[in-house]
Amino acid sequence: MSRGRASQQEADGPSWIHSLRRARQRSTGARYDPSVRRAGRRASVTANVDDGARIDITAALPRRAQAGSVIQIEATVVNRSAQTLASVDPNPVSISYRWHEPAAGTLLLEGHRARLPAPLAPRATVRRTLELLVPERVGELVLVLTLVHEGVEWFDDGDKNAVVGRVEVAELDESLRTRFPPPVAPFEEGYGAVHGHFLDFAFTHTLDLFRTGAALPPCYGAALDERVVEYPWLLAQPLLGRMLDAGSTLNNPRMLDQVLRRVDDLHVVTLAPEHEAAWERGVSYVFADLRELPYRDQLFDIVACISTLEHVGMDNSFYGDQRPPAVDADDERLRAASELWRVLKPGGVLLLTVPCGRYADHGWFATLDLDRLEALADHLGPATRRIELFRAHPHGWQRASAAEVVELVSRDSHVEPVGHDLIVGARAVACMRLVR
């Protein structure tokens, strides 16, 4: 096995986003020679784990890839040992990958961990679809697909105990569907890899499009949820002063990196403590109901409420709130919106996003129609208002008119499977900017 110790990667928020590291010391990977298996051929190799345990790993690696893109492969692992392999913390066994330079063996990129979906008993087989990020390096590179025992070691040793292939990496085709192929299944580990990599692209290349109202690129965020619209739309707004995140949707490292460098103070209000917190970065957390905010009047310059208002007054047991749903959820949403407005300074901005279309009660959230959103804005009485609509298509997200979204209903991920339209969550989203 490789002598380098495998170090635990940090998850980027609850969506299991890629956490990639470039080598800062010597490569922990093995050196390669011309006899290495060629890319594109299926290879079956055996890996030794503690006390003689053995596994077979099989996959078809690509012959070619594009720099900075995400590729999908199918991998099969067979446990040939008398031991059970499991993705159990603190030292889980996972499927992972590394990219190396072919000559010196220098590590270029260490990939996301794909956990085993269940303990792998002796003689059992598991198949996984994996999303692999390609380094932004053009030329022939070596791809190593293997298992990793977190915090202990990688299973590979050169071209043994792994599937190893040489891949010709070319300049990136600017087609977003080529660069970010639709994930196989929503909200699994591979989905988070594509989603996070796409958000990095959106933050770098599309904020001006959101800021100016221009059309989004073809295939923008295909088969990805509404965050690929909501997050860059929010970041395209002027953010400053003291800001409130009402609902904790921004409470993940990727968004905190973007927001904290632009505001003086960030406060997060949510129903209950979460797994991720950033007190050490100066973020303030308060646990409260949006309908009864524990803040004084006119405190915040910016209030952001991203994909949260649609849950107010609904069945929130999924989020740990065991109170029964409200008799009139519309009234409860107005109560929450009024509280957000109360704590906003004169001249301050309320940034609000919700799934929109034809009204539908999904139990734990609602798809809100445009009449309800206009009524909410009328209730608050803003000095100025702007509502932008976006619609998900099989080929990605685009701006939309009211007529295009009026009959759409969000997919309920608890009961509705992903269909041929590749819709993961909301079929349309409204982004509202209200100035007090």
Position 136 in a domain: yes
In this structure, are 239 and 334 located in the same domain? yes
In a domain, 13, yes or no: no
pLDDT at 19: 29
* CA–CA distances in Å: residue 162 to residues 22, 75, 87, 148, 362: 21, 11, 18, 11, 46
What CATH number is associated with residue 163? 2.60.40.10
Please report the pLDDT score of residue 236 as a whole number: 97
CATH of the domain at 203: 3.40.50.150
Examine the domain organization and report whether 286 and 334 are in the same domain. Answer: yes
Length of the chain: 436
Residue 185: Cβ within 10 Å count: 13
- Answer yes or no: do 130 and 206 share one domain: no
Q: What is the structure's pLDDT at 424?
A: 87
Residues 139 and 261 in one domain: no
Q: Is 383 exposed, middle or buried (0-12, 13-18, 19+ CB in 10 A)?
A: exposed
Q: Which two tokens stand for residue 282?
A: 């100066």
- DSSP 8-state class, residue 181: P
pLDDT of the chain, 436 residues: tens digit per residue: 443 445 443 333 322 222 222 322 222 333 333 333 333 333 333 344 443 446 788 898 988 888 877 787 889 998 888 889 999 999 999 999 999 999 888 999 998 888 898 999 999 999 888 888 888 889 999 999 999 999 988 888 766 778 999 999 988 666 777 777 777 666 665 788 888 889 999 999 999 999 999 999 888 998 899 999 999 999 999 999 999 999 999 999 999 999 999 999 999 999 888 888 899 999 999 999 999 999 999 999 999 999 999 999 888 787 777 788 889 999 999 999 999 999 999 999 999 999 999 999 999 899 999 999 999 999 999 999 999 999 998 888 999 999 999 999 998 888 887 776 778 899 999 999 999 9
Q: Is residue 32 part of a domain?
A: no
Domain interval for residue 274: 186-435
Rounded to 10 deg, the angle between the 189-205 and 227-235 helix axes is: 30
Record the pTM: 0.67
Number of helices and strands in the chain (H, E): 8, 21
Are 253 and 402 contained in the same domain? yes
Decide if 19 is inside a domain. Answer: no
DSSP per residue, 301-329: EEEEEES-GGGTTS--GGGT--SPPPS-H
pLDDT in the model for residue 398: 94
Please confirm whether the linkage preceding 90 is cis (ω < 30° from 0). Answer: yes
Task: Give the pLDDT confidence score for residue 173 in this predicted structure.
Answer: 64
Residue 105 sits in the same domain as residue 209: no
Give the number of domains in the chain. Answer: 2
pLDDT, residue 187, reads 66
In a domain, residue 37? The reply is no
